[in-house]
Structure 1
Amino acid sequence: MARRIGILGGTFNPVHIAHLRGALEVAEQLALDELRLIPSARPPHRTAPQATAEQRLAMVQLAVEREPRLAVDDRELRRDKPSFTIDTLESLRGELAADDQLFLLLGWDAFCGLPTWQRWAELLQHCHILVLQRPDADSEAPEALRDLLAARSVNDPQGLVGPSGQIAFVWQTPLAVSATQIRHLLAEGRSVRFLVPDAVLAYIQTHGLYRGQTDS
């Protein structure tokens, strides 16, 4: 039988409950065999994270260690160049069977920014795209994506067929949590308990991460 693999990339600086809850909801809703969180090493669209790649990887591993539906993939940290999603998809496809389904999870903002991504028009050759949207989202896709949505989107994510090539929207539980917010709280010496898993919080405290550090 064809396997169903989801991937969620990000800096995870640090990983938090919105990342994890969103991933778990998709894994359950689409009955995925596995959903992999993929920490990025050198994100091309962002400044370098304060925590090292090894620290961010360790936090993600701690966050998912007791959830069998979620896994961690460190391939981008082992790559000696910026983390382009198209490279990751090509690498994954080389390891999967031809009929395995691959699902790329993207938040709405990331999806709207696709036209700025490296070789973005080739992404759907390798995967389906699942756009994660909160029920209160009311923005529209940029003009550069409207033709793509008209041609490739399906109404029901359960209706995605074949190994790749389609787009579907998945409604998510609203969780107004961000890594930026968490870093600001930590920099101010405030608690982030219940915003990150307890094991991640313990790691942050043990290693003194984000203390006195502020960013935008």
Structure 2
Amino acid sequence: MPQNSISAQLSNLQQLVADLEAIENGGKKAISNTIKDVKARAPGWIAQEVTAVYNIKKSEITPSGSGKPKKMAGSIQITGETIEELAITYKGRLLTPVHFGMTPKAPPRGKSYTLKASVLKGQKKVIGRYLNTRTPGGPFSQRSHNILMGTGNTKGDGTSWIPFQRMSKTRTDIKKLTTVSVPQMITSDRTNEAIMLRLNTETSKRLEHHMKRALGL
């Protein structure tokens, strides 16, 4: 009888060990799947929070899912194989107002115009003016407002006009008008707290989802 009793206890213990191993393996798989989800979805979550504040197109700050290259306002690198090691790094130059709903997009021929852009959603501001007072072939002004100048672009999807400010009478003494970069928009006080909350919330949801699947719940 004692031997039978011991045998029964060992059998139960073996099942318990098997159950624990299944839970451990399921947990590892759930974490692995969660990391894959976060790497694929995090740029979209971040872009939603950024575009809720800044007047930039979501497509300009998220990579293409089709694998086809596209022109972006910045680059993204996602590294790490554990949740603790996950790091999302954005790089990018200061952007011109072209990315923020600038109007007009090209100078109206022979007419004066007022340049406007909305870096923050709902806050359109005057960023430059051009008065058509210059005599054709005459000298350049000592200093100008931000005005549209040609970039020499020959590509269909390129930018042909960008705001510059003339700093002196010298033709080449000009300064390009820039606003903010993608990294600055993401780390801004206006967005960073919402982005971190979104990342934590969505990651927890994905982990819970994959844990339930792994455990058959």
Structure exhibiting the larger radius of gyration computed from Cα positions: 2
TM-score bracket for the superposition, by shorter chain length? under 0.3
TM-score (structure 2 length as normaliser)? 0.25
TM-score (structure 1 length as normaliser)? 0.25
